[in-house]
Structure formats: structure tokens, C-alpha cells
A and B are shown apart, each in its own frame.
Chain A
């Protein structure tokens, strides 16, 4: 038990560092689509989902989201991250449970649903459904970044020892 708690702490720290790297070098600056993200921290979440289960993944992801908002970003960004993060974890957990997809497929679903969650928050904040016009762009980028992150996470999983 104590080993798993310590491991959870280490993984939370790793996820926060990944989020911080993304905060320093946002992909949005290269491709100007609001909400576009590489999703580096999702490597950690996917690895935890496979190695320790959904409860640990949820705990680490929530801790990461709140700590990152508190340390680097804003309450508004927290709202986006929270909705996107929870929706994407739910989708990844469901897709992993059906046992049809590999890590890449699970991560693609995570990337895409993260963007859907963000657009939902944006449409509520703006009081208009027009932001859904951004969704096709975000679905394409979310699926591609999700696949990249999934392949990376799959390689990490192969090399990690049993916990």
C-alpha cells in the first residue's frame, strides 16, 4: 500500500512536469487553434490506467489538474482542464474495458474526448453553440496527437517493470 502511495506521488509529479512543459511551449503557438494540445501529461495517465487501474489514474489526474491550475494557469483554465480531463479518462477507461483497442486506440479516444469536453465548457461560457465550429479541427488534431501519445505510452508500458 505505502509503495503504491509513493508511486502515485512520483507519477503525479511527473504528470505535473509534463503539463509544465506544455504550458511553457504550447502547440497553440505553432498551430493557432484554441484548445489544441499535445497532451504530454496523458502519457502518465495512460500508463497509470494500465498499470495501477482507473482509481489511481483518476486520483493522479485530478491532483495534476488542480495543482497545475494553482501553480501555473488560471481558474478558467482549471474549468477546461477538469471537464476535458474527466471526460477523456472516462472514455479511455471504457475503451480499455472493451479490450478491442490497444493503448493507441485508448489514447486516441482520450485525446478526442478531451477536446469535446473543452468545447462543451467553451460553449457554456460563451453562451453560444458557435464554438462547435472549432470541433472538426480539434477532432483531427486530437486524434493525431492522441495516437502519438498512445504509441509513446505503449512503449513506456513495454519497458516498465511489473508493479
Chain B
């Protein structure tokens, strides 16, 4: 490797490392938003209440578990099962993706104004 190659590698690692700190270092979130295909919102649930959510969208089955202020995918009928192995999320901005089933979990809003009475 030449010096320019190493600089390129170091630059990319530095930028993505900073971005990673930003993603991981968010404040604790208040709710998890479940988004399906074409950005359709399938539900918003508070993180402070433990529960299990079943999603069945056109043959795509996913089960989401909220416990201890964190959300995790516990079951999916997708072929690669990668979403089950992603770590539980609880900080604002974090997400879990199940690409084959086009399902997305997103943590939102650490501020009280983001909370409403739907739960």
C-alpha cells in the first residue's frame, strides 16, 4: 500500500468512527416506531412499558419485544434472519432493519413532547 492508500483508509475510518459515536452516543429514546414498506408507519410504542408486538404484513411475519427500555426483533420469517442478531436498541436514532420483510424499527424522541397518550 502507498501512503495515499493509507491516508484514504485512515480518512474513511475516522469519518465513519465519528459517525458511529454519533449513532451510538444518542440519548435514551422514548418510543419505538415500526415502519413497513413504502415508509408506512405500522405503530409507535413507548419503550418504558414491556410488551410483545406481532407484525403480519402480506405474509411477512415479525415479532418485536420491548423490555427494559430497549426494543429487539425476536422472530422473523425472513430468509437471512440477520435482524434477529442485531443488538437491542434503546437510544434515539438507533434502528434495526429487516430488509427481506421491509421492516424497520426506529428509536425516537428522548424529549417528553414526543410522548403522547397512544399507549
Contacts and interface: CB of A to CB of B under 8 A. Distances in A.
Contacts of A150: 1, 5
A133 B16 CA distance: 11
Given A101-B2, A102-B1, A133-B93, A32 B35 contact: no
B4 A100 contact: yes
A52 B1 CA distance: 22
A151 interface: yes
B9 A143 contact: yes
B interface residue count range (under 10 / 10 to 19 / 20 to 34 / 35 or more) = 20 to 34
B100 A127 contact: no
Contact of B2 (A32, A33, A102, A140): A102
Nearest to A154: B1
B19 A104 contact: no
B37 interface: yes
Interface stretch (B43-51, B57-65, B79-87): B79-87
B39 A112 contact: no
B42 interface: no
A159 B107 CA distance: 51
Interface string B8-34: 110011011101100100000000000
A131 B102 CA distance: 11
Interface residues of A, number: 31
Q: Which of B1, B2, B83 has the most CB of A within 10 A?
A: B1
A135 to B, nearest CB: 7
A10 interface: no
A75 interface: no
B16 A128 contact: no
A38 interface: no
B13 A140 contact: yes
B76 interface: no
A139 B39 contact: no
Given A76-B100, A134-B97, A139 B4 contact: no
Contacts of B99: 34, 122, 125-126
Q: Which of A76, A108, A137 has the most CB of B within 10 A?
A: A108
A32 B97 contact: no
8 contacts: A104-B1, A105-B4, A125-B102, A130-B95, A133-B23, A134-B95, A136-B17, A136-B19
